[in-house]
C-alpha cells in the first residue's frame, strides 16, 4: 500500500467512525493504564505442582465459554485457563471459576476494543505487531489509550516503510473523529523525531503546518494534546521553524493554543539562548494583547523566568480543567 493509499484509507475510516459514533465532538480520553499480561500465576505461591492439574471445568465470561484446568490442595481450588494465560484461586470450585471469569475481563475487554476499532465482529486475538499499516493507523483512535500507545510503537518500528507520514499528518488535521485527541497526542510523540517519520522537506513542512493549525484552532486541550504540540514545536523544532510558528500562535483565538505557545517559547530559548531577547520582547508585547487573566499572569511569569535564565513557573489550568 502506498502512502497516498494509506492516507485515503484513513480519511474513509474517519467518515465511517463519525457515522458509527454519531458525533464529531471530541471525547476527553482517560489516562493511559499500562496493560500487562499474563498476570502473575497465583498457583506458584501455593506450591501447586504440575501433577496437581488433574481436573477440568468451564467458565463463562462476556458471553464466551472457556476451558480451565483445575487443581486443589489444602489452600483451596486453583484454575488455569491456558487459552487466555491466566489463573485464579477460590475456597470452592464455584468461587474459583467466578474469580477466573472476573480475571479474564481485562484481556477480553482489550481484545474487543481492538476489534471495535478495526470494525471486526469478533475479538482480536492476535498481536498488534502483526497488523498491516492501515490497521495500525486505525488503532491510534482506539478508546483504550494503551492500545493507541502500542500502535504508535509499532508505527515507529516500521517508519522505514515510508508510507505513514501523509496519514499521520491527516490525524493532526482531523477535526471529526471523537477520539482524535489521543490519536493526535500519539502522532505528536512520534513527531518529536520528525525526520525519522517525515523524510522529505515537503512532508516536514506539512507536518509543522498541521501542528500550527492544531494549536491555533484548539477547541480544548484534552489529553494535553495542544500542550504537547507546543512542546514539540518549541523543544524539538525550535530553530527557524518552531519559534516563528509559536510566535504566530500567540495570536490564536484559542486560550489553549495561546497557553501552548507561551510554554513552547520557553523551550525555544532553552535550545537557542541567542533568541532570548526576541522571545522576551514578543511575550511582553503579548501582554498588551492578552485578554485572559490567567494567561496574562502566565505571560508575565514566563517572560520573567526566561529573562532570569531559570525554570518556568508551573503551567496554569483553566477552571474547566480542574
**Helix, coil or strand: residue 304:** helix
Mean pLDDT of 136-149: 97
Q: What is the DSSP letter of 93?
A: H
* Banded pLDDT at 298 (limits 50, 70, 90): very high
Chain segment 210-269, per-residue pLDDT in tens: 999 999 999 999 999 999 999 999 988 877 688 899 999 999 999 999 999 999 999 999
Mean of the per-residue pLDDT values of the chain: 94
pLDDT of residue 117: 95
Mean pLDDT of 63-84: 95
pLDDT of residue 1: 84
Position 178 pLDDT exceeds 90: yes
Contact criterion met (CB below 8 Å) for 9 and 37: no
Position 161 pLDDT exceeds 90: no
pLDDT of residue 240: 66
Q: How long, in residues, is the chain?
A: 322
Amino acid at each position: 500500500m502506498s502512502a497516498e493509499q494509506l492516507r485515503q484509507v484513513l480519511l474513509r475510516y474517519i467518515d465511517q467512525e463519525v457515522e458509527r459514533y454519531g458525533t464529531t465532538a471530541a471525547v476527553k480520553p482517560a489516562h493511559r493504564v499500562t496493560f500487562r499480561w499474563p498476570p502473575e500465576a497465583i498457583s506458584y505461591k501455593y506450591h501447586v505442582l504440575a501433577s496437581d492439574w488433574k481436573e477440568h471445568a468451564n467458565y463463562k465470561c462476556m458471553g464466551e465459554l472457556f476451558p480451565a484446568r483445575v487443581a486443589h490442595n489444602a489452600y483451596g481450588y486453583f484454575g488455569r485457563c491456558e487459552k487466555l494465560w491466566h489463573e485464579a484461586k477460590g475456597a470452592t470450585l464455584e468461587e474459583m471459576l467466578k474469580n477466573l471469569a472476573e480475571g479474564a475481563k481485562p484481556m477480553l475487554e482489550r481484545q474487543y476494543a481492538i476489534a471495535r476499532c478495526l470494525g471486526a465482529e469478533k475479538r482480536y486475538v492476535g498481536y498488534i505487531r502483526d497488523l498491516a499499516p492501515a490497521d495500525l493507523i486505525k488503532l491510534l483512535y482506539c478508546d483504550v489509550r494503551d492500545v493507541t500507545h502500542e500502535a504508535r510503537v509499532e508505527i515507529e518500528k516500521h517508519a522505514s516503510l515510508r508510507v505513514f507520514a501523509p496519514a499521520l499528518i491527516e490525524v493532526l488535521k482531523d477535526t471529526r473523529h471523537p477520539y482524535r485527541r489521543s490519536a493526535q497526542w500519539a502522532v505528536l510523540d512520534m513527531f518529536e523525531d520528525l525526520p525519522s517519520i517525515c523524510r522529505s522537506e515537503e512532508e516536514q513542512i506539512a507536518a509543522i503546518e498541521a501542528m500550527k493549525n492544531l494549536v491555533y484552532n484548539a477547541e480544548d486541550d484534552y489529553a494535553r494534546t495542544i500542550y504537547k504540540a507546543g512542546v514539540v514545536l518549541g523543544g524539538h523544532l525550535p530553530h527557524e521553524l518552531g519559534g516563528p510558528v509559536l510566535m504566530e500562535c500567540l495570536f490564536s483565538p484559542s486560550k489553549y493554543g495561546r497557553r501552548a505557545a507561551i510554554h513552547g517559547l520557553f523551550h525555544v530559548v532553552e535550545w537557542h539562548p541567542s533568541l532570548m531577547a526576541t522571545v522576551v520582547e514578543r511575550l511582553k508585547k503579548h501582554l498588551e494583547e492578552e485578554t485572559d487573566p490567567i494567561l496574562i499572569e502566565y505571560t508575565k511569569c514566563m517572560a520573567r523566568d526566561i529573562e532570569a535564565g531559570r525554570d518556568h513557573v508551573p503551567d496554569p489550568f483553566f477552571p474547566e480543567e480542574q
